[in-house]
Amino acid sequence: MKKKILWALFSLCLSILTIYALFYNSGLSLSELWYNIKEASPLWLIPAALCMFGFIFFEGRSLVLILRTLGYPARKRRGFLYASADIFFSSITPSATGGQPASAYFMHKDGISGVAVTVSLILNLTMYTIAIITLGLLSLIFFPHVFMSFELPCKIMILIGIVMMFLLTVSFIILLKRQSILVKMGNILISIMTRLHFKTAAEKFKARLNTIIENYNECVVTLAGKKKLLVKTFLLNLMQRASQILVTVFCYYALHGKLSDGLLVFAIQTYVVMGSNFIPVPGAVGISEFLMYFGYTMLLGEESAYSLAILGRGISFYTCSIISIITVILGYIIIRYNKIKNEEKE
Beta-carbon-side half-sphere exposure of residue 158 (alpha carbons within 13 Å): 28
pTM beyond 0.85: the answer is no
Region for residue 256 given its phi and psi (left: phi exceeds 0; alpha: psi -120 to 50; beta: otherwise): left
Read off the pLDDT band of 250 (50, 70, 90).
Answer: very high
The whole-angstrom separation of Cα 313 and Cα 244 is: 10
pLDDT tens string 206-246? 666 566 666 666 666 667 777 888 899 999 999 999 999 99
For the ranges 108-122, 129-143, 313-327, the maximum mean pLDDT occurs at 129-143
Give the pLDDT confidence score for residue 129 in this predicted structure: 86
pLDDT tens string 85-97? 888 878 776 655 5
Percent of the chain residues past pLDDT 70, beyond the cut: 71
The whole-angstrom separation of Cα 5 and Cα 95 is: 15
Give the pLDDT confidence score for residue 208 in this predicted structure: 61
Q: Of 99, 167, 83, whose CA–CA distance to 133 is shortest?
A: 167
DSSP of 200-263? HHHHHHHHHHHHHHHHHHHHHHHHHT-HHHHHHHHHHHHHHHHHHHHHHHHHHHHTT--GGGHH
The whole-angstrom separation of Cα 2 and Cα 189 is: 25
Angle between the N-to-C axes of helices 114-142 and 262-276, in degrees from 0 to 180, rounded to the nearest 10:
130
User: Which secondary-structure segment (H or E) carries 45?
Assistant: helix 42-69
